Amino acid sequence: MDRIRIVGGAKLHGTIPVSGAKNAALPLMIASLLTPETLTLENVPRLSDVRMLKRILGNHGVDITVAGKRLGDREDDGETVKLTAGSIVDTVAPYELVSQMRASFWVVAPLLARMGEAKVSLPGGCAIGTRPVDLLLMALEKLGAEIEIEGGYVLARAPKGLKGGEIDFAKVTVGGTHTALMAAVLAHGTSIIRNAAREPEVGDLARCLVKMGAKISGIDTSVLEVTGVGSLKGAHHRVLPDRIEAGTYAFATAMAGGDVTLTDVQPHLLQSALDRLSDAGATVTTTENSIRVSRNGNGLAAVNIETEAFPGFPTDLQAQFMALMTKAQGTSRITETIFENRFMHVSELARFGAKIRLDGDTAIVEGMPVLKGAPVMATDLRASVSLVIAALAAEGETMINRVYHLDRGFEQLESKLQRCGAEVERIRG
Ligand code: UD1
């Protein structure tokens, strides 16, 4: 298993191009199941989750080609992926595949909408709480699906097709909103989705569906109205930049010190995170498509955060912000309101000498002047990158084990940091 070795202390200077968003690429790829025509996606990040989803979609009969690099393309330019679901050869998504990545459960909606049936294993994914799918199934039932659960599989049927309905989410759910959208676009009649997630990745999916011929209004708001159409066509779409990757490198720069410009990014998609970073004392300036973060000399101030659905502080940046606060001056309170049990990084951060106490859904972080490098273990996707952030500012060497979690969500992490002067290397094995 690969490991990552980091020697802390180097300041970061340079430019980091931000990749396409994993959390947008996955539902966009799944949307290819809705049409027999070709969906071309640009700026798809090269990540293990994307590779896994290609296998899952291939199993359903989606023909996938990846366009080669053109002369002059940068090393870190994303892939162009063409997906053609000419005919769906299998409406079963098996346990072996779905258990490795939760988002693959979302295939249930397009399979059901297009084929009238789907059999999809209950999901796995990051161990950050129980993460049920009750709201996703409720949404499908509201559109007329019959749902049964048998032997760890969800059997969804709508032999006469789905019909428009009203879906009122009791809780904001990104996966639930993706599911409702992908089901409603091919349903007979009009659907209303209330308390829809406003995360930018939901908007990105909706915009791509509109290019494919779907009728959706209220995009980026919490009420979506979808009028079903008989069929969808192919389209061309560029995946939105990864706001979580951008926020991660912004925090890393504040932690290590230095001056880094993030490019190919949409700063307004992570405004709440950038605001908290400024509160902590980093200098943050933005243009329409770049973010510059610097911290020279001064220490960081302790700042409290509470995770919230968009546009609030994202849960996917909570672990990284906690890493930053381990060296701040004073005590910060970090409250997680989206997922239970999303504090697995606390015990690993303690290995650097961080002082963190848990009180229910809140972590109380007492900033320390010095962190010390240590052997640590990646436990889930975002938790693992919080260890990278701590290691960049820790004295001495850190060895991060189980980095396959990082490879699920961060494209070329080592080279992006190396080019800014960090001492980071991957040890294959
Ligand atoms: C997506 C993101 C993930 C992010 C999360 C919240 C992807 C691939 N993953 O995950 O990175 O952390 O949004 O922004 O895009 N819930 C239920 N019942 C359900 C569905 C969800 O109770 O049927 C709960 C969850 O347990 C959680 C909350 O709702 O407490 C939000 O989950 P949700 O927004 O659905 O997360 P995901 O779509 O799985």
* Whether the CB of 180 sits within 6 Å of ligand 1: no
Share of the chain above pLDDT 70, in %: 96
Higher pLDDT, 79 or 245: 245
Residue ID of nearest Cα to ligand 1 atom 21: 173
pTM beyond cutoff 0.75: yes
Whether 327 and 367 have beta carbons less than 8 Å apart is answered as: yes
- CATH superfamily for 22-238 is Enolpyruvate transferase domain (3.65.10.10)
| Residues 288, 47: Cα–Cα separation, whole Å | 26
Which residue from 56, 171, 178 has its CB within 8 A of the most atoms of ligand 1, so it is best to mutate?
A: 171
3-state SS string for the chain: CCEEEEECCCCEEEEEECCECHHHHHHHHHHHHHCCCEEEEEEECCCHHHHHHHHHHHHHCCEEEEECCCCCCCCCCCEEEEEECCCCCCCEECHHHHCCCHHHHHHHHHHHHHHCEEEEECCCCCCCCCCCCHHHHHHHHHCCCEEEEECCEEEEECCCCCECCEEECCCCCHHHHHHHHHHHCCCECEEEEECCCCCHHHHHHHHHHHHCCCEEECCCCCEEEEECCCCCCCEEEECCECHHHHHHHHHHHHHHCEEEEEECCCHHHHHHHHHHHHHCCCEEEECCCEEEEEECCCCCECCCEEECCCCCECHHHHHHHHHHHCCCECEEEEECCCCCCCCCHHHHHHCCCCEEEEECCEEEEECCCCCECCEEECCCHHHHHHHHHHHHCCECEEEEECCHHHHHHCCCHHHHHHCCCCEEEEECC
Query: Which of 149, 211, 210 has the alpha carbon at shortest distance from 184?
Result: 210
Domain with CATH 3.65.10.10 in the chain: 3-18+241-427, 22-238
Active site residue 126: yes
How many angstroms is it from 197 CA to the middle of ligand 1? 10
pLDDT confidence of residue 73: 58
CATH number of the domain at 3-18+241-427, out of 3.40.50.2300, 3.90.550.10, 3.65.10.10, 3.90.420.10? Answer: 3.65.10.10
Give the pLDDT confidence of 359-382 residue by residue, as tens digits.
999 999 999 999 999 999 988 888
Instruction: Work out the mean pLDDT of the chain and round it to a whole number.
Output: 94
| Residues 107, 91: Cα–Cα separation, whole Å | 9
Q: Sign of the CA dihedral 345, 322, 18, 31?
A: positive
pLDDT exceeds cutoff 60 at 125: no
* Whether the CB of 330 sits within 6 Å of ligand 1: no
How many angstroms is it from 396 CA to the middle of ligand 1? 37
Whether 67 and 240 have beta carbons less than 8 Å apart is answered as: no
**Stretch 189-196: mean pLDDT, rounded?**
98
Residue 218 backbone class (left: φ over 0; alpha: ψ -120 to 50; beta: rest): left
* Whether the CB of 123 sits within 6 Å of ligand 1: no
Give the pLDDT confidence of 216-249 residue by residue, as tens digits.
999 999 999 999 999 999 999 999 999 999 999 9
How many angstroms is it from 14 CA to the middle of ligand 1? 34
How many angstroms is it from 129 CA to the middle of ligand 1? 10
pLDDT confidence of residue 383: 85
| Residues 328, 390: Cα–Cα separation, whole Å | 12
pLDDT confidence of residue 68: 63
Measured CA angle at 271 (ends 334, 15), to 5 deg: 100
How does residue 100 score in pLDDT terms, banded at 50, 70 and 90? confident
**Stretch 267-287: mean pLDDT, rounded?**
98
| Residues 293, 131: Cα–Cα separation, whole Å | 34
**Stretch 116-136: mean pLDDT, rounded?**
77
Which tokens is 422 given?
Answer: 């960090």
Residue ID of nearest Cα to ligand 1 atom 5: 174
The values of phi and psi at residue 222, to 5°, are -90, 5
The values of phi and psi at residue 33, to 5°, are -70, -15
Active-site residue (options: 25, 31, 47, 126): 126
pLDDT exceeds cutoff 50 at 403: yes
